[in-house]
Structure 1
Amino acid sequence: MAENPSGSLLGGITPMQQMLASGTGALFTSLFVTPLDVVKIRLQAQRTPFSKGKCFLYCNGLMDHLYVCQNGNSCTAWYKTPTRFTGTLDAFVKIIRYEGIRSLWSGLPPTLVMAVPATVIYFTSYDQLRDFLRARIDSQGRYIPLVAGAVARLGAVTVISPLELIRTKMQSRQLSYHELRVCIQSAVAQDGWLSLWRGWGPTVLRDVPFSALYWYNYELVKEWLCTQFHLTKATFTVSFAAGAISGTVAAILTLPFDVVKTQRQIELGDMETLQVTTPRSSSTWLLMQKIRAESGTRGLFAGFLPRVIKVAPACAIMISTYEFGKTFFQKMNQERQLSNL
């Protein structure tokens, strides 16, 4: 977008102020939803014991244990079944009881490292693309938010995919930073640097449609709410409600891809920790069929409740904080311009 003589964008806000608004929203959102993300990933990553003759690594939430079963019965006397979660509330209770409340924020540092730059890239790109498309075609076409949201998310996902992989590993089970480094080094040595983008495909399949649906519905709901309450501009409450509604719809429709992404990323963990060559992952479609065959259709919607509980407030907090930040800077810039007259 072009800038006016004062250095502000035509929308009344500079790029740096736009980045500050989105970065602040990312910080608040990450602190709030990380516990829900931890529970969602734990529910999706639950494993059943391997069949006979297999070595496997399992985590009971406190430490990892390596077992080698020569047959299906010989290890039953000394093998304790890892903690199983029957639902969202059960997961919260057991994680706090056996691992401590701090475990609900496991993976928070890489979450913050990932969330802030990703959100800055994503929201700034979306606004710029949306306004660029509207200016070029001189239209308020409803498909513009859909296109802008999809393109902006594709770029952000590609940039932060390695950090997403690290965060998922840290949340799926407790790993020390040394174990995490060994795991990543093993993956790079075996499959090259592209292994750090494992899960990129299903992440794109989840996040790009999510973003397109989210922004499309957000603009529609926001416009509808403004009409209903006779508002010329969306308030904090309107942005909050529109973000929650559109985020919930998009989260439900894209949940199967979130399950596939989590499964593909955490499958590196067990064998890489043992420094054993891992088999190549199946395609997203084949992995979805495998999950459906093993766990039924419900398996593709594992972590449904914590994902919806997470996404709805996350989207609401993020977009309302972002819009509030932009409004704050717009007013500040206007007051500064008036004082200089």
Structure 2
Amino acid sequence: MGLDQVHHEKLDTENVTIHLISGAIAGYAEYIIMYPIDTVKTRMQSISFKGTRNIFGVLLKMIAEEGILSPIRGLTVVVAASGPAHALYYGSYEFVKINLQHVVKNHNSFCHGVAGCFATFFHDAVVNPSEVIKQRMQMEKSTCHSVIQCTKEIYRIEGFQAFYRSFATTLLMNIPFQSIHFIVYELCQDYLNKERDYDPKSHIISGGLAGGVGAAITNPLDVCRTLINTQESKEAVGLVKAVKIVYKKTGFRGFLSGVTARTLHLMPSTAICWSTYEFCKYLLKEQKHKDSDRNK
């Protein structure tokens, strides 16, 4: 992408409302569609998990024993947080990427990686409490039966810090994940969609590859985050202790727990998220251009 094109895009996106709205809609689409697989992933990452390693076997067993709504337990809190979180995620990514490319020439991957770091921080700051609540509700034999009850119980027993106990670990996982994710997505777009037009097929392929690569690489940290969030072991108060507990209970194999489920969750998730985001951005920009032409 040349400097003139970057400058043109900067002028075209000075109103970040398009990115915020598109990002929020993309977040809703991603979480709602793929949430049952996320529940399976959480259970398979549990240090006490003894069941089958077949993703759909776990899902069917859950439905048979706990009811048809059990795979979406905790979805409401995620929906409440995902809209604003993804709005900040894409809005900050686009803003930092475009402005950084305007200053740092011919280093697009660096710009994408840095922008991904900023996007990750703002996203995770909003979504971390909801992750704690939803993972408590996703666990087998969970005593949390509603979002409000779960939130009150966590706060009463563990205090406000419980909602951000895993924040440092989340950032340590998501900063490399999101940096890899954005770099892979943009590199795929450079190859599949050089003109950066709206192209659904390229957005789906690029998003899926980006999510899959990032998910596989960062799974060990996600296992530790799940342990910290669910507090299966009360000693898991930080990343170092979580690593020791996972290794002690399950060995090196434990750090790969749920890697298939996580990859199968994030590949379609990121494909859905990026394709929805690019589609909404395209529609909103087209409407903006029509309104501009009408007002001339």
TM-score, normalised relative to structure 2: 0.88
Give the match for residue 297 of structure 1. 252
Where structure 2 has 5 or more consecutive residues not aligned to the other structure, the ranges are: 1-8
Which of 73, 89, 110 does residue 56 from structure 2 map onto? 89
Cα-to-partner distance string for 1:255-283 (whole Å, 9 max, x where unaligned):
00100000111116xxxxxxxxx854354
Give the match for residue 226 of structure 2. 262
Does structure 1 residue 322 correspond to structure 2 residue 289? no
Q: Is the 8 A contact 1:217 1:246 kept in 2?
A: yes
Q: Which has the larger radius of gyration?
A: 1
Does structure 1 residue 187 correspond to structure 2 residue 188? no
The percentage of aligned residue pairs carrying the same residue is 23
Does structure 1 residue 235 correspond to structure 2 residue 202? no
Report the CA distance between 1:134 and its aligned residue. 1.4
Which of 143, 163, 176 does residue 145 from structure 2 map onto? 176
Find the aligned partners of 1:232 and 1:96 in 2 and give their Cα distance.
Answer: 43
Where structure 1 has 5 or more consecutive residues not aligned to the other structure, the ranges are: 1-7, 49-82, 269-277
Find the aligned partners of 2:278 and 2:196 in 1 and give their Cα distance.
Answer: 15
Find the aligned partners of 2:202 and 2:107 in 1 and give their Cα distance.
Answer: 20
Q: Is the 8 A contact 1:9 1:15 kept in 2?
A: no
Q: Which amino acid letter does the alignment assign opposite residue 124 of structure 2?
A: V
Report the CA distance between 1:295 and its aligned residue. 1.4
Find the aligned partners of 1:144 and 1:265 in 2 and give their Cα distance.
Answer: 32
Give the match for residue 134 of structure 1. 101
Give the match for residue 21 of structure 1. 22
TM-score, normalised relative to structure 1: 0.77
Cα-to-partner distance string for 1:122-152 (whole Å, 9 max, x where unaligned):
1111001111111233555321000110122
Cα-to-partner distance string for 1:27-46 (whole Å, 9 max, x where unaligned):
11111110001111111125
Q: Which amino acid letter does the alignment assign opposite residue 55 of structure 2?
A: T
Report the CA distance between 1:94 and its aligned residue. 0.5
Q: Is the 8 A contact 2:47 2:250 kept in 1?
A: no
Runs of 4+ in 1 over 4 A off after TM superposition: none
Cα-to-partner distance string for 1:128-185 (whole Å, 9 max, x where unaligned):
1111111233555321000110122022212322221111111124422365222331
SS of residue in 1 equivalent to 2:12: coil
Q: Higher helix share goes to which structure?
A: 2
Q: Which amino acid letter does the alignment assign opposite residue 176 of structure 1?
A: H
Give the match for residue 209 of structure 2. 245
Q: Is the 8 A contact 2:47 2:227 kept in 1?
A: no
Give the match for residue 332 of structure 1. 287
The alignment of Structure 1 onto Structure 2 pairs a total of residues equal to 284
SS of residue in 1 equivalent to 2:174: helix
Cα-to-partner distance string for 1:159-212 (whole Å, 9 max, x where unaligned):
322221111111124422365222331111xxxx32321111221111111111
Find the aligned partners of 1:98 and 1:121 in 2 and give their Cα distance.
Answer: 38
SS of residue in 1 equivalent to 2:201: helix
